[in-house]
Chain A
Amino acid sequence: MTLPDDARLSASYLAPGSSSFADFLAAEAPDLLPARRGLPPGSAADLAPHGTTIVAATFGQPGSGGVVMAGDRRATMGNVIAQRDIQKVFPADEYSCVGIAGTAGLAVEMVRLFQTELEHYEKIEGTTLSIDGKANRLSALIRANLGMAMQGLAVVPLFAGYDHDADQGRIFSYDVTGGRYEETAFHSVGSGSMFARGSLKKLYRDNLSADECVTAVIQALYDAADDDSATGGPDLARRIFPVVHVISDDGQRRMPDTDVAAIADRVVAGRMQHPDGPTASLEG
């Protein structure tokens, strides 16, 4: 690692070049990049904890809406619960956030790199990246991780942000090769994602308010936890609830735990009456 210690800035710092922090890191201190680690052959999948389910859904009409992202709090290692209160949804910048499923340590590192990448660009260029630009940068970071993904250390993010040009929230999903796909309305990644997506399919409507949208994603996470052992439901005894980020025209904020707890308590109370949750009408 070549961090200059209070001496003359080395030439690479003063050289004109890219506005990308990841590119600068690759040239200056490549060992700090999460994807630049040589792994011995073999699977490393069982070595580290895995994060599980992330859900995102848009709400409101263009101009007054936004997007909600929520993640459960469980990390697993095989059949062991490695952590009960892990955070898997992070702010990426003022108008976007990123949730991660897959190898937890690597994913957290990648989120830190992504956050720095966006902030670095913002400071150097004096302007923010477009939401598609941000989504593409994340794609590049994931793509660089393909080698590790093939050895079991995959990271699969979900990216959501507010698009000021289109005046609406947008969601992007990724595969391990860095493929980037825009999702409409809602999406989910992680081990419990198929249950969460099935649940949201029945609960989602176009004109949800922000609070209704939060309720819908918490219902979806409850359904995921119901059927997937690696996804954690609301932990009423320890008062651990999903991490929920709400992004709108005003920027992104993490919903206070007390507000999430109130909604989660209502969801759990409803499940006491109807364990399978709200029912959708059969027709229409």
Chain B
Amino acid sequence: MTMPFYVSPEQLMKDRADFARKGIGRGRGVVAVQYGDGIVLVSENPRSLHKISEIYDRVAFAAVGRYNEFENLRIAGVRLADMRGYAYDRRDVTGRGLANAYAQTLGTIFSSGGEKPYEVEIFVAEVGDVAGADELYRITYDGQMVDEHGFAAMGGDAESVSTYLREHWTEAGSLADALRLAVAALGHGPDGDRQIPAHDLEVAALDRTRTQPRKFRRLTARVLRDVLGPDAESPPDGAPDDSSAAGGGEASHQPQVPDDPADPTDTASSVPPLEDPVTGEPTSPDDSPDDSPDDSPVAPPLDRGDPTS
């Protein structure tokens, strides 16, 4: 019989937390900003794979991290909400109930030894009848649930984005103000600000002024351009003005990043994608376009089988 190495519980949890945090930090961030008539969720995400989605009438979901993991949680959330709304009533589906379910799920998975911790962080937003009744929860990979007020950021460089939001956020602004603030915050980084073009944004709002019971609506690139101004501020080398041409537009805006449009993990940063978009297998660091000298590649979770199964 072999003697297992002793690992202290503190070290074990720290290792798991580091693992999850690295996975979350390498994607791009999501920002939630409360405005006078609701909550707007903004992400820099030129893909058609959504990071922001509708869960129920007044409840929206946003996530960063591994796509297959948060997609799984999103579908579970839709099922839970629809089940509850069908068994009871539409009004009985609450953001807090859903956030609790997510927190319990992530917390259990994080602390159980047998499962890989989820590399995700989640927003659950619920719009109320008045601004005071709006709710915004941030749920972290270890099941911590944070009740946010006014604004929140996760993923990417969440620290500096949060700081920017804290400095500039004002209560009860208009949707346009909130949108401009969110986009500026996402473009804010330690090495200067950049303007994110409208067709690279995924934006949705929970709008309490909508007459329909379902308050969630996506804002298209056309609407965004009306608010943010044309993409002329971005590099002038002829980015196509069409959001469908995501691949070409992407390359011209960020010429230094040879990002793969088929990459569902959406990591157009200097680190390799977590997994091959086609096979779902973890990618090895050497066959990916990693030219970052300072970031040591995180070991992909090789001990698991096909992560999509």
Q: Which residues of A contact B (CB under 8 A)?
A: 1, 3-4, 6-9, 13-14, 16, 21, 24-25, 28-29, 32, 112-113, 116, 119-120, 123-124, 126
Indicate if the CB atoms of B73 and A14 lie closer than 8 Å: yes
Evaluate contact between A123 and B86: CB separation under 8 angstroms: no
Q: Are A120 and B78 in contact (CB under 8 A)?
A: yes
Minimum CB–CB distance for A1 against chain B, Å: 7
Given A6-B97, A8-B105, A9-B105, also A123-B76 (CB < 8 A): no
* With known contacts A29-B83, A116-B86, A123-B53, A6–B104 Cβ distance under 8 A: yes
**A72 CB, nearest partner CB in chain B, Å:** 26
User: Is B184 in the interface zone, CB < 8 Å from A?
Assistant: no
CB pair A3 B83 closer than 8 Å: yes
Chain B 108-124 per-residue mask, 1 if CB under 8 angstroms from chain A, else 0: 10000000000000000
What is the CA–CA distance of A242 and B100 in the complex, to the nearest angstrom?
Answer: 44
CB contact list, B74-125 vs A, under 8 A: 75-76, 78-80, 82-87, 97, 100-102, 104-105, 108
Contact A6 B87 (CB under 8 A): no
Task: Give the CA-CA distance A67 to B175 in the complex, in Å.
Answer: 36
Q: Which residues of A contact B85 (CB under 8 A)?
A: 116
Q: Which residue of A lies closest to B85 (CB)?
A: A116
Indicate the member of B73, B78, B84 with the most A CB atoms within 10 Å. Answer: B78
Q: How far is the CA of A126 from the CA of B97 in the complex (A)?
A: 23
Asked if B22 is at the interface (CB within 8 A of a chain A CB), the reply is no
- CB-CB nearest 5 A-B residue pairs: A13-B76, A6-B100, A8-B104, A9-B105, A8-B105
- Residues of the A chain whose Cβ atoms lie less than 8 Å from the Cβ of B97: 6
Q: Which chain B positions have C-beta within 8 A of A113?
A: 86
Interface size of B in residues (CB-CB distance below 8 Å): 24
Residue from B50, B76, B82, B86 within 8 A of A9 (CB atoms): B76
Shortest Cβ gap from B261 to chain A (Å)? 18
Do A4 and B87 have beta carbons less than 8 Å apart?
Answer: no
A13 partner residues in chain B, CB cutoff 8 A: 75-76, 79-80
CA distance A8 to B100 in the complex (A): 8
Taking the nearest CB of chain B, how far is it from the CB of A191, in angstroms?
29
Mostly helix, strand, loop or mixed at chain A's interface? Answer: helix
Measured CB to CB, the closest approach of chain B to A214, in angstroms, equals 22
Residue of B with least CB distance to A24: B79
Interface of B is mostly: helix
> Is B8 part of the binding interface, using a Cβ–Cβ cutoff of 8 Å?
no
A16 to B53, CA, bound (A): 18
User: A120 near B87 (CB under 8 angstroms)?
Assistant: no
Partner of B75 from the list A6, A29, A119, A124 (CB cut-off 8 Å) is A124
* Choice from B55, B76, B84, B105 contacting A3 with Cβ under 8 Å: B84
Nearest B residue to A117 via CB reads: B82
User: How near does chain A come to B75, taking the closest CB pair, in angstroms?
Assistant: 6
B72 at the interface (CB under 8 A from A): yes
8 Å CB contact of A28 from B53, B72, B83? B83
- Apart from A7-B101, A32-B87, what 11 extra A-B contacts exist at CB < 8 Å? A4-B101, A6-B100, A8-B108, A14-B73, A16-B75, A21-B82, A28-B79, A119-B82, A123-B55, A124-B75, A124-B78
Question: Within the complex, what minimum Cβ distance (angstroms) separates A125 from chain B?
Answer: 10
Known: A7-B101, A119-B82. A14 touches B87 (CB 8 A): no
A283 CA to B108 CA, complexed, in Å? 78
A9, B54: Cβ atoms closer than 8 Å: no
22 contacts between A and B (CB under 8 A): A1-B87, A4-B101, A6-B97, A6-B100, A7-B101, A9-B76, A13-B80, A14-B72, A21-B86, A24-B79, A25-B86, A29-B87, A32-B87, A116-B82, A116-B85, A116-B86, A119-B82, A120-B78, A120-B79, A123-B53, A123-B54, A123-B78
Chain B residues contacting A14 (CB-CB under 8 Å) are: 72-73, 75-76, 105
Q: Taking CB as reference atom, which chain B residue is nearest A113?
A: B86
